[in-house]
Amino acid sequence: MSTSPDIRIDVSAATPVYRQIVDQIRTRAVEGALRPGDALPSVRRLAIDLGIHFNTVAEAYRALAEEGWIDVAHGKAARVRNRSTPPAPEAAEVEDFRQRLRHLIAEMRAQGLSPGRISRELLTLAEGLKR
């Protein structure tokens, strides 16, 4: 039985649809909503559910497999892989993360989100990481 990853896509977004799928499945795996061994919906099933072309889903599954998040084999369900915890990042990677986060916060401020709301969202996400 496959696990529905509850994916939402925005075809008008600047981010390509296949990348939206990749990002959401990866996030659910990191958060534990998708566990190692969980089967994902078939390419065709997810494409039908999302109302997109099956090649878009296939591209997302290939990218996830290349990143080491899922195992795919012809004729078998794509399954979430068991991933070991990677080593701690280097200082430069942490700084890169900090800069990307600052840019995202600035983007959200530019779209009208208040500093208090951004702070609450970040705190909620941080609490979720502690689980």
Output 125-131 pairs: Cβ under 8 A, ≥24 positions apart. Answer: 128/31, 131/32
**Residue range 112-116: average pLDDT?**
95
* Domain ranges, ordered by start, for the chain: 17-80, 91-129
Q: What pLDDT sits at residue 9?
A: 94
| CB distance 110 to 104 below 8 Å | no
Decide: helix, strand or coil at residue 12: coil
pLDDT in tens, 61-109: 999 999 999 999 888 999 999 987 777 889 999 999 999 999 999 999 9
**Residue range 103-128: average pLDDT?**
93
CA distances from 11 to 16, 42, 108, 121 (A): 8, 21, 20, 24
* Class level of CATH domain 17-80: mainly alpha
Q: What pLDDT sits at residue 4?
A: 63
Q: What pLDDT sits at residue 3?
A: 62
Q: What pLDDT sits at residue 75?
A: 86
For the chain, the C-alpha Rg in angstroms (whole number) is 17
Both tokens assigned to 86: 């990677």
pTM score, whole prediction: 0.70
Q: What pLDDT sits at residue 125?
A: 87
Q: What span, in angstroms and rounded, lies between the C-alpha atoms of 84 and 96?
A: 23
